[in-house]
């Protein structure tokens, strides 16, 4: 998977970087967690401080466009982002039997 950053804007008021990107891939569409991990690694940021929303793929192409928001602290993330977006980025808990 190759990720190309198309814009990178710093938002000081909300303590975050706002990135627009295009992810090209071969085979199956990559998971949100894989895309997020790769973007976080590219910017030396913890995955917990990253929100991906929205991700859009087009029929017949092997590319996904999206927006990533990388916060400076987890507190800034929790004070700004909606709960369902925060939960969407977390790994799923395993069911107990």
Q: Which domains does the chain have, with CATH numbers?
A: 2-89 (3.30.70.330)
**Mean pLDDT value across residues 91-95:** 62
On average, the pLDDT of the chain sits at 89
Q: What's the pLDDT score for residue 85?
A: 86
pLDDT band at 92 (very low <50, low <70, confident <90, very high): low
pTM summary value: 0.84
CA distance 20 to 95: 35
The answer to whether 20 touches 67, Cβ cutoff 8 Å, is: yes
Q: Each residue of 58-86: pLDDT tens digit?
A: 898 999 999 999 999 999 999 998 888 88
């Amino acid at each position: 998977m190759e990720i190309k950053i198309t814009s990178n804007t710093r938002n000081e008021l909300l303590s975050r970087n706002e990135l627009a990107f295009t992810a090209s891939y071969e085979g199956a569409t990559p998971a949100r967690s894989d895309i997020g991990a790769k973007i976080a690694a590219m910017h030396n940021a913890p995955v917990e401080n990253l929100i991906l929303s929205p991700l859009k793929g087009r029929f017949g192409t092997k590319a996904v466009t999206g927006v990533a928001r990388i916060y400076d602290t987890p507190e800034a993330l929790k004070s700004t982002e909606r709960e369902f977006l925060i939960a969407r980025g977390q790994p799923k808990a395993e069911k107990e039997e």
